[in-house]
Amino acid sequence: MSQARLAPCLQLPLENKTLVNVIEKAKDWALMHGVGMRDKKHFNKDVIQIAPFILLPSPFPKTEFMKAVELQPVLNELMHKVAHDDEFLEQTLQNALQVDEFTANLYDIWLKVKNEGISQPISLGMLRSDIMLESRCPHTENQCAKHTPYCSWKQVEINSIASGFGHLGPVSREIQSYILRQLGHGDLIKNMPENRALSGLCSGIIEAFDLFGVLNAVVLFVVEEVSYNICDQRFHEFEISEKRPEIQIYRKTLNEIYEETELNDKKQLILDGHPVAVVYYRSGYEPAQYPTAREWDARLRVERSTAIKCPSIHYQLAGTKKVQQALAGPGVLEKFMGSGTSTSRVRDIFTGLYSLDFDESGERAVEMALADAERFVLKPQREGGGNNVYGSEVRDALTRMRHSRERAAYILMERILPPLVSGYMIRPGAPVPPPLVDLVSELGIFGVIIGTKEKIYCNRQVGHMLRTKLADANEGGVAAGLGALDSPYLLDL
């Protein structure tokens, strides 16, 4: 059976001369407006290249987009409650902690801070819920897929750390608006939703700074040793400086935090003589950048301090895949949300999520995956592209891990089959004109929540981003070099 399709916003293919001309203009626009990244292969701090982008905005059903926007504050509050439920986190992560050293180190820091007494009860959550349209329809009595190219949308994951693209999301709309105007179709821009993700995310940092309420305090961005996604990171700083020029922002690696900061007797994190009000982690520290002992010590120092963290350690634990899988279990959402309509709405967005623990349900999940590996994805605990296992490799990995505790470090998720759309992907250094290819998209909805266990100070949806990849590609991370920037073109279906 052929995969469902959505129609592009313009008739394709474009005439060759028109295509070449508009791409050259768009590339220059991209470089002059921060649609850029540093080259991983030939790194040079003084050089950026265009970030991969899709030439035209990708179609997305308006009703589903609005549902995702409206649901984000509900998801924000759910994550906030999960992060503050010590018993649930302990029970949910106990098996993964035995085999996943990264998560175990996070958990150890959490225990130490809890036992010493938490110095800062306020957490700043800057979350991103990633979703995809599902073209397969499970409703045999009402085959909605016969009438539309999709059935529903499903959550891929929710990110609690390094939820990037606050700048690149909105600027994707801007570059595609420019392209549509150049092609004589500026009238279509009205179907692209406004996107204020950058100002919305930065307002969360500013509100947390004000809640800290200490004179001469500063904001600290924690960054990688080498930053490739520099435009997205720096525009957050520029936005804060424009809104609040008096707020001083530092960028430091964990190694620099280890060397240059200290805790005073008030448990304030002191940097260059200033107390740090907000610590914003711009890096999730994936396996390729696994933290050293010094970096773990720096993370512990930050967590012990009075600084408001984004994320705090318990927020990062709440964002692990094991926790997301556990939330899909019977009665778990009801524990946090009660049994109202919001609970049903959240449960509806979950795709199949299965534990691989050494128990009856874990064995059933292994058997399912071995029998039909193409249906599933193996996901480790950490966030970011490039870590998941797909297709026949799922069978190979589970065969290897079947009798090893290593398998408890993963969850099993049913693959989502989104509808296809035809389009052009523009990449740095790639031949022009590019071929017309089949693409699939993943929508990310941003949320900000600030609060303690007892009180929520703010909770809102603040913007979105769209990442699009080749239909036959498994991963789609733009920073990982696997996808491209895009924005939604809303359709009434």
390 is in an annotated binding site: yes
469 is in an annotated binding site: yes
Alpha-carbon distances of 418 from 390, 412, 449, 481, 489, rounded to whole Å: 16, 19, 30, 21, 16
Question: How many angstroms separate the CA atoms of 161 and 139, rounded?
Answer: 35
467 is in an annotated binding site: yes
251 is in an annotated binding site: no
186 is in an annotated binding site: no
387 is in an annotated binding site: yes
Question: How many angstroms separate the CA atoms of 309 and 326, rounded?
Answer: 25
385 is in an annotated binding site: yes
386 is in an annotated binding site: yes
400 is in an annotated binding site: no
Strands in 389-390's sheet, in edge-to-edge order, are 353-355, 410-414, 376-380, 389-390
**Burial readout 182-204 (b: 16 or more C-beta within 10 A, e: otherwise):** ebeeeebeebbbebebbbbbbbb
23 is in an annotated binding site: no
Q: What's the token pair of residue 457?
A: 């100070």
Cβ-proximal residues to 326 (8 Å cutoff; 6+ apart), any chain: 88, 92, 332, 355
Q: What's the token pair of residue 103?
A: 């998560």
**Helix axes of 62-83 and 341-349: crossing angle, nearest 10 degrees:** 100
Question: How many angstroms separate the CA atoms of 65 and 131, rounded?
Answer: 10
Which of 398-405's residues contact partners 24+ apart within 8 Å by CB, and which partners?
398/356, 398/366, 398/369, 398/370, 398/373, 399/370, 402/366, 405/95, 405/98, 405/99, 405/358
Instruction: Return the residue matching tokens 């080749």.
Output: 470
157 is in an annotated binding site: no
115 is in an annotated binding site: no
380 is in an annotated binding site: yes
395 is in an annotated binding site: no
Exposed/middle/buried for residue 261 (C-beta within 10 Å: 0-12, 13-18, 19+): buried
Give φ, ψ of 105 to 5 degrees.
-65, -40
91 is in an annotated binding site: no
141 is in an annotated binding site: no
Give φ, ψ of 39 to 5 degrees.
-80, 120
442 is in an annotated binding site: yes
262 is in an annotated binding site: no
388 is in an annotated binding site: yes
233 is in an annotated binding site: yes
Extract the annotated binding site. Answer: 233, 321, 379-388, 390, 413-416, 442, 467, 469, 475
Binding region for ATP: 321, 379-388, 390, 413-416, 442, 469, 475
The binding site for Mg(2+) consists of 383
Where is the binding site for substrate, in residues? 233, 467
